[in-house]
Amino acid sequence: MWKQWLIALVLVAVAIGGAFMYQNLDDGDAAQGGRERPASAVNTRLPQMETVRDVVNAVGSLKALNAVELTTEVSGRVVQLNLETGRRVEQGEVLLRLDDRQARADLQVIEAQLADARRQYERAQRLRSNNSISQSQVDELRTAVDVAEAQRQSARVRLENHRIEAPFAGVVGLSDISVGAYITAGTSVTTLDTTDRMELGFSIPERFLGQVSRGQQVRGASPAYPDQTFSGQLVELGSRVSELSRSLPVRALIDNPDGLLRPGQFMSATLTLRQREALVIPEQAVMIRGDEQYVFVAEDGVARRVSVNLGSRMPGFVEVSKGLSQEDPVIVTGQDRLSSGDRVRVLEDDKAIPENRFITARES
* CATH code where residue 304 lies: 2.40.420.20
pLDDT digits (tens, 9 = 90+) for 165-201: 999 999 999 999 999 999 999 999 999 999 999 999 9
pLDDT of residue 344: 86
User: Do 86 and 117 belong to one domain?
Assistant: no
Report residue 84: phi and psi, to 5°. -80, 115
pLDDT digits (tens, 9 = 90+) for 61-109: 999 999 999 999 999 999 999 999 989 999 999 999 999 999 999 999 9
* Mean of per-residue pLDDT scores for the chain: 85
**pLDDT-based confidence at 355, cuts 50/70/90?**
low
Distance CA 86, CA 91 (A): 15
One DSSP character per residue, 76-136 reads: EEEEEE---TT-EE-TT-EEEEE--HHHHHHHHHHHHHHHHHHHHHHHHHHHHHTT-S-HH
In a domain, 26, yes or no: no
For residue 271, is pLDDT > 50?
yes
The secondary structure of the chain in percent helix, strand, coil, rounded to multiples of 5, reads 30, 40, 30
**13 compared with 332, residue with greater pLDDT:** 332
Packing angle, helices 135-160 and 101-129, rounded to 10: 160
* CATH code where residue 126 lies: 1.10.287.470
* CATH code where residue 73 lies: 2.40.50.100
Domain boundary residue, one of 275, 305, 337: 275
One DSSP character per residue, 2-60 reads: HHHHHHHHHHHHHHHHHHHHHHHHHHHHHHHHHSPPPPEEEEEE--EEEEEEEEEEEEE
User: Do 262 and 281 belong to one domain?
Assistant: no
For residue 58, is pLDDT > 70?
yes
- By the 8 A CB rule, do 256 and 196 touch? yes
Domain boundary residue, one of 275, 301, 328: 275
pLDDT digits (tens, 9 = 90+) for 290-336: 888 999 999 888 889 999 998 888 888 888 988 888 889 998 888 88
pLDDT of residue 345: 86
Share of the chain above pLDDT 70, in %: 85
3-state secondary structure of 160: helix
- CA 196 to each of CA 103, 127, 173, 224, 261: distance values in angstroms, whole numbers, following the listed order: 37, 64, 15, 18, 9
Pair type for strands 197-205 and 247-255: antiparallel
pTM score of the predicted model? 0.64
Sign of CA dihedral 37, 43, 48, 50: negative
One DSSP character per residue, 186-212 reads: T-EEEEEE--SEEEEEEEEEGGGGGG-
**153 compared with 1, residue with greater pLDDT:** 153
3-state secondary structure of 284: helix
Distance CA 18, CA 14 (A): 6
pLDDT of residue 321: 87
What average pLDDT does this structure show over 9-14? 60
In a domain, 22, yes or no: no
**pLDDT-based confidence at 130, cuts 50/70/90?**
confident
- Which residues span the domain enclosing 324? 40-50+277-363
Domain count across the chain: 4
Residue type, 271: L
For residue 337, is pLDDT > 90?
no
Domain boundary residue, one of 149, 178, 193: 193
**pLDDT-based confidence at 20, cuts 50/70/90?**
low
What average pLDDT does this structure show over 152-161? 93
**pLDDT-based confidence at 12, cuts 50/70/90?**
low
User: Cβ contacts of residue 230 below 8 Å, gap of 6+?
Assistant: 219, 220, 221, 222, 254, 255, 256, 261, 267
User: Do 110 and 130 belong to one domain?
Assistant: yes
Distance CA 273, CA 231 (A): 15
User: Do 177 and 135 belong to one domain?
Assistant: no
**331 compared with 7, residue with greater pLDDT:** 331
What average pLDDT does this structure show over 130-141? 82
In a domain, 11, yes or no: no
Cα–Cα nearest to 71, from 195, 194, 193, 192: 192
